[in-house]
Each structure stands twice: as structure tokens, then as C-alpha cells.
């Protein structure tokens, strides 16, 4: 195993595991809502609880990553993430589900911070842009998780049985690859100042503020696709629950395809051009899904949306990691508060908008946000 592992493969395994679990969750959202008899608006509040759990985990995860090593802390977070996914299927009732989703959000959010810090270390070690290709493994895992969710739904498996099987599979196949890198991680830099308690929320500062806002705007759409794509296809286009789970799978696989090639595009064209073209593609995909609102059109729109969102978050993290003023873990934690905070809290807004108006309108507004991302692309050209 050790000879097979490279820094890229070990970090990629962490991203694949993280993606597999969130893809599995995304595919079974309609089933969870039905089990607990949740309306769109009420489910949005549960997503808010999940998002708050993630936001509270960011600063501590960033500090631990800088102090103990990103690879090691990522492996710990992964175990918590696996356990909380299983617990979602066993939630005894509404209050139990709320507590478990808060823990699920915290483990997911902390792992997001630490594995991105790890990936930026790998990128620096390799001396070239590889962050998007590592993120491709997250999308691959998310697509695989959503596809497994489709199969589990078609076979009539309960959410509890499905999540237990997925967690066991991820633990057996991907976690050992992550652990293989722990012994060869870089030595964390010693802290030069007095040790201070981490803030309640990590926030970007200085030149990272606009980068965080860019990540926030990009994260809104990506998070909405994870939590609402299956519901959109089911409610707006009339698809049955099982094929509706394929919407997120197609979105995630489109992200895989783009992330495997976009590093070369960034090297040749630069981050600004790639970010602008990506955001416009995402806006086009959302416009197609909302404007036509049929099953085939929405699926094609979700593919375009996946192609568009593929590079945006990796570009924000790459820019954050290059900042000379803030340690990598804390810089990524700050940007994550806005970027992944939007991915986790944004779906709550989608739920409320769909309750007040319609889910179709909510997705249309996401297209407008994607246009704002295109306008913000020049902030990526700022040199630290």
C-alpha cells in the first residue's frame, strides 16, 4: 500500500471519501424528509442547524490542522463523519435528527477545512496547480455516492441500511489510503506568538475578504445542488424519486470531468478567465433547468452547472493558501466560513424561498448569483 501511495493519491482519497458521504446524503434527502414529515421550509431549518455545526467547527479545525498536521486531523474528522452519516438513518425523531445533523455538519465542515489545507500542501510540494484535480476526486466520490443512492432507492433499501453500507465501504476502501500519508506529513511550523483560544467563527481578513465573498457566492449554488437537486427534479419536473437522485450524480460527474482538465486551463489562461467562463456556464445551466423545467432539460442544465462550478471553490482556496499573512489552515478556515458556510446555510434560504414562492424561483435566483461570481473574477488576480 505504501509504495502505491503518493501525496496526491492520499489527499485525493480524503476528498473522495468526503464526497461519497455527501453524495449519499444528497440522494436520500427526499426519503429523510418523508420519514420525518418535513416541508421544504421546515427542512430548510434543519439544514440551518447542519450549517451552524459546520461553521462552529471551522476555526478549531484550522488551528488543529496547522498545529498537528492536516493529514492526521483529516483522518480523525473522517471517522466522525462516517459515524454521523450512519446516525442520520437511525435518528429517533425530529429533535434527534436536529442534533445528529448538527454533528454531521460539524464533522463535514471540519474535514473540509483540514483536507483542503492538506491539498494545498500537496500542491506546494508538487510545484504546480493540482488542487482542482484533487477536488475532482471529491466530485467523483459525490457522484458515486449519489449513484449508490439511486441504486439503494430502486432496491427499496432503508436510509439506515443504505448509509451503513456506504460508510462501511468508504471505511474499508478509502480511509486506509488517507492514513497511509499520516506518517509522512510535513512537520507543522511552530507557533511564534502566544497560544490563543480560537474564535467562535473563523473569518477572512485583509486581502482574503473579497476571496471569501467570491467563495460565498460560488458556494451558494454548489450547496443548493447537493441538497435540492433531487427535490427540484421530483417537485418541479415531476420525476419519480429514484431517477431524481441521478440529477446530483450527473452534476457531480460533470464536475469530475472539468476538474480533471481545468488545472491545465488555469495554467494557460489564468484564474480570472477560467473563473469568469465557469460562472457564466453555471448561470446558463441554471437558466436552462429553470426556464424549460422538464426532466431532460433540467438534467442537461445540471450537467452545465456542474461544469461551471467545478473550478470556482478550488480557485478560491488556492488563492487563500498563497496568502503570506495568514497560516494556510487558518486562511482556508476563514474562506471556508463564507464558502462552505454558504454551501451549508444557502440551502436553508432555498427552502424558505421555495416555501414563500417556489423552488423554481429559488433556483432562478441562483443563476443571478452565478452572474455576480463572473463579475467578481478579477479578485483572483490579486497577488499576495
275 and 377 Cβ atoms separated by less than 8 Å: yes
- The size of the chain, in residues, is 384
pLDDT tier, 190 (very low <50, low <70, confident <90, very high otherwise)? very low
pLDDT of residue 204: 67
Q: What is the mean pLDDT of the chain?
A: 83
Indicate whether 194 pLDDT > 80. no
Cell of 234: 421530483
* Fold of the domain built from segment(s) 7-181+201-381: Growth Hormone; Chain: A; (1.20.1250)
Indicate whether 193 pLDDT > 60. no
Give mean pLDDT, residues 63-79. 87
Rounded to whole angstroms, how far apart are CA atoms 153 and 161? Answer: 11
Indicate whether 303 pLDDT > 90. yes
Rounded to whole angstroms, how far apart are CA atoms 6 and 335? Answer: 27
305-321, pLDDT tens digit by residue? 999 999 998 888 888 87
pLDDT tier, 341 (very low <50, low <70, confident <90, very high otherwise)? low
Higher-confidence position of 183 and 218: 218
Indicate whether 186 pLDDT > 50. no
pLDDT of residue 45: 84
82-128, pLDDT tens digit by residue? 999 999 989 888 889 999 999 999 999 899 889 988 888 887 787 77
Of 169-183, 254-268, 288-302, highest mean pLDDT: 288-302
pLDDT of residue 318: 81
Indicate whether 283 pLDDT > 80. yes
Whole-model pTM over 0.85: no
363 and 286 Cβ atoms separated by less than 8 Å: yes
Rounded to whole angstroms, how far apart are CA atoms 14 and 194? Answer: 32
Cell of 132: 482542482
142-170, pLDDT tens digit by residue? 878 888 888 888 888 999 999 999 999 99
222-259, pLDDT tens digit by residue? 878 877 888 899 888 888 777 787 887 788 788 888 98
pLDDT tier, 268 (very low <50, low <70, confident <90, very high otherwise)? confident
Indicate whether 188 pLDDT > 50. no
Indicate whether 17 pLDDT > 60. yes
pLDDT of residue 179: 72
Sketch the domain layout of the chain as residue ranges: 7-181+201-381
pLDDT tier, 205 (very low <50, low <70, confident <90, very high otherwise)? low
271 and 363 Cβ atoms separated by less than 8 Å: no
pLDDT of residue 185: 43
Cβ neighbours for 76, distance < 8 A, ≥ 6 positions apart: none
Of 56-60, 85-89, 195-199, 314-318, highest mean pLDDT: 85-89
Give mean pLDDT, residues 358-382. 89
**Backbone phi and psi for residue 174, each to the nearest 5 degrees, phi listed first:** -105, -40
Amino acid at each position: 500500500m505504501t509504495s502505491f501511495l503518493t501525496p496526491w493519491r492520499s489527499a485525493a482519497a480524503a476528498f473522495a471519501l468526503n464526497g461519497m458521504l455527501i453524495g449519499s446524503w444528497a440522494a436520500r434527502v427526499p426519503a429523510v424528509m418523508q420519514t420525518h414529515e418535513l416541508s421544504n421550509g421546515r427542512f430548510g431549518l434543519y439544514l440551518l442547524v447542519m450549517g451552524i455545526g459546520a461553521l462552529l467547527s471551522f476555526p478549531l479545525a484550522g488551528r488543529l490542522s496547522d498545529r498537528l498536521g492536516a493529514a492526521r486531523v483529516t483522518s480523525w474528522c473522517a471517522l466522525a463523519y462516517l459515524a454521523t452519516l450512519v446516525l442520520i438513518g437511525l435518528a429517533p425523531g425530529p429533535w434527534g435528527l436536529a442534533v445528529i445533523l448538527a454533528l454531521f455538519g460539524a464533522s463535514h465542515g471540519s474535514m473540509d477545512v483540514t483536507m483542503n489545507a492538506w491539498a494545498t500542501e500537496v500542491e506546494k510540494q508538487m510545484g504546480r496547480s493540482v488542487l482542482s484535480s484533487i477536488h475532482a476526486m471529491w466530485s467523483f466520490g459525490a457522484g458515486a455516492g449519489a449513484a449508490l443512492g439511486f441504486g439503494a432507492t430502486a432496491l427499496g433499501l432503508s436510509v439506515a441500511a443504505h448509509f451503513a453500507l456506504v460508510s462501511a465501504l468508504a471505511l474499508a476502501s478509502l480511509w486506509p489510503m488517507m492514513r497511509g500519508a499520516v506518517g509522512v506529513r510535513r512537520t507543522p511550523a511552530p507557533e511564534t506568538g502566544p497560544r490563543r483560544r480560537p474564535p467562535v467563527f473563523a473569518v477572512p481578513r485583509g486581502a482574503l475578504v473579497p476571496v471569501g465573498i467570491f467563495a460565498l457566492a460560488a458556494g451558494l449554488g454548489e450547496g443548493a445542488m447537493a441538497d435540492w437537486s433531487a427535490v427540484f427534479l421530483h417537485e418541479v419536473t415531476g420525476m419519480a424519486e429514484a431517477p431524481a437522485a441521478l440529477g446530483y450524480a450527473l452534476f457531480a460527474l460533470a464536475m469530475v470531468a472539468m476538474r480533471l482538465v481545468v488545472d491545465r486551463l488555469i495554467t494557460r489562461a489564468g484564474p480570472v478567465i477560467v473563473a469568469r467562463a465557469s460562472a457564466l456556464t453555471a448561470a446558463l445551466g441554471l437558466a436552462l433547468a429553470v426556464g424549460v423545467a422538464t426532466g431532460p432539460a433540467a438534467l442537461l442544465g445540471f450537467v452545465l452547472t456542474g461544469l461551471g462550478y467545478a473550478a470556482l471553490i478550488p480557485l478560491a482556496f488556492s488563492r487563500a493558501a498563497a496568502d503570506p499573512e495568514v497560516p494556510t489552515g487558518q486562511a482556508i478556515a476563514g474562506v471556508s466560513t463564507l464558502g462552505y458556510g454558504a454551501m451549508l446555510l444557502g440551502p436553508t434560504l432555498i427552502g424558505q424561498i421555495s416555501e414563500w414562492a417556489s423552488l423554481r424561483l429559488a433556483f432562478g435566483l441562483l443563476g443571478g448569483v452565478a452572474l455576480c461570481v463572473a463579475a467578481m473574477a478579477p479578485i483572483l488576480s490579486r497577488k499576495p
